[in-house]
Amino acid sequence: MILSALLFAATIQAQGLPAGLNHLRFGCSQITVERLDPLVNPGLVGTPHMHQVVGGNAFNASIPVTDVSAIADCTTCGPADDHSNYWTANVYFKARNGSYKRVPQIPNRLLFNDKFTTQISGGITVYYISPGKGKVTAFKPGFRMLVGDPMRREKKYKMQSCYRCYTGPNYGGDNAAPCSDAKIDTEGFPPGPCLGGIRSNILYPTCWDGKNLDTPNHQDHVAYPTAGPSNFLSTGDCPASHPVKIPQLMLEVVWDTTKFNNKADWPADGSQPLYLSTGDNTGYSQHGDYVFGWKGDALQRAMDDKGCFSATCGNQKSQDISVANKCVIKKTVVEDADGWLDKLPGNPNMG
Ligand SMILES: *[C@@H]1O[C@H](CO)[C@@H](O)[C@H](O)[C@H]1NC(C)=O
Ligand SMILES: *[C@@H]1O[C@H](CO)[C@@H](O)[C@H](O)[C@H]1NC(C)=O
């Protein structure tokens, strides 16, 4: 266990990450796959597109702006004190005959020293990273934010989210930090079949205005550093408007596209067969939502645990996967998300 943790840390060092960097990272199973979005469309039952959601059982069509750690009483995530919710669009494959099928997800098998994370049946690997320089302040109760834009269909050169095409089994091609190398990470969907599946990384802003728990577009209260890449490789300062350094929240999802790699099933005109649930086959509308819900100082303790790389930084209480899998919610929007479908759930604008 210690050896594998060291090997993992050594790999990270080899990737040229800043010294003193720490990672709290853990898996979270899905709590639902459903057309709800309590951040962007609070109260709406049946939102325009589908999401996959992980985390606490306070998730619903709306989530009161309050201390979510107190209204949820369980979580699908490894650390028992994380009652937050995280959600992303999901991916569908469009076959040559025009039918859609949801692409399954697989856990991050690279985190072999973390049994919980390799046991989740899909879902998301969540990272909270402290760049190792200066104080990182954990989010406050009621905090929420959004990164990305479900309507975007064009490249923006910002690498706030990206895809990595695994060129072979066992994470072929996985040899650089996420969204750091435009030669291997693309902002849009990889153009051809990926033999080992496709990884998505979504990187939230790392600077906060210090005042607002949320803003009308769920983005203006946070910002990226003024210099350097828009990810945890950046040791750049926060802008004066957003002076408080917050943890680098990153979501990682591995899409098991391997069943859909037969070119004979791809559209005859050569177009991209993968669609985000937003109705987008460019991939640029990838986005991530976050509603903070950690108990007490658990997240702050993890960020203060310098040099730690694990699911238990700051002495987190880990739960067993069998306990996490008992954390369930009742579906509000009941519909077929997993069969072969004539159209994407919600029939989103296909522009
Ligand atoms: C979710 O919200 C609906 C109303 O939209 C409500 O009837 C239901 O009780 C809520 N579920 C939970 C678990 O709070
Ligand atoms: C479309 O093609 C897929 C994959 O070949 C197949 O499984 C599905 O049944 C087909 N759907 C229809 C409506 O023919």
For the chain, what are the domain ranges?
A: 1-345
How remote is the CA of residue 229 from the centroid of ligand 1, in Å? 41
Looking at residue 110, its pLDDT comes to: 75
Residue 106 alpha carbon to ligand 2 centre in Å: 23
Report the alpha-carbon distance of residue 126 to residue 257 in Å, rounded: 21
Buried b (16+ CB within 10 A) or exposed e, 216-250: eebbebbbbbeeebbbbbbebebeeebeebbbbbb
Ligand 2 neighbourhood includes 101 CB (under 6 angstroms): no
Cα(221) to ligand 1 centroid in Å equals: 28
Name the nearest CA neighbour of 45 among 339, 350, 323, 333.
Answer: 333
Atom of ligand 2 nearest to the CA of 97: 1
- DSSP sequence for 220-235: TTEE--SSS-SSTT--
* pLDDT tens per residue across all 351 residues of the chain: 333 333 444 444 445 556 678 889 999 999 999 999 999 999 999 999 999 999 999 999 999 999 999 999 999 999 999 999 999 999 999 999 999 999 999 988 777 778 888 888 889 999 999 876 778 999 999 999 999 999 999 988 667 899 999 988 767 666 678 888 878 889 999 999 999 999 999 999 999 999 999 999 999 999 998 876 666 666 678 999 999 999 999 999 999 999 999 999 999 998 999 999 999 999 999 999 999 999 999 999 999 998 898 999 999 999 999 999 999 999 999 999 899 999 999 999 764
On whether the CB atoms of residues 272 and 286 are closer than 8 A, the answer is: no
Q: Which of 99, 266, 343 has the most ligand 2 atoms within 8 A of CB, as the residue to mutate?
A: 99
Spatial CB neighbours of 300, under 8 Å, sequence gap ≥ 6: 137, 138, 314
Beta strand extents in 108-191 (DSSP E only) = 124-130, 144-148, 161-165, 185-186
What confidence score (pLDDT) does residue 173 get?
66
DSSP classification of residue 280: B
Please tell me the predicted confidence (pLDDT) of residue 231: 66
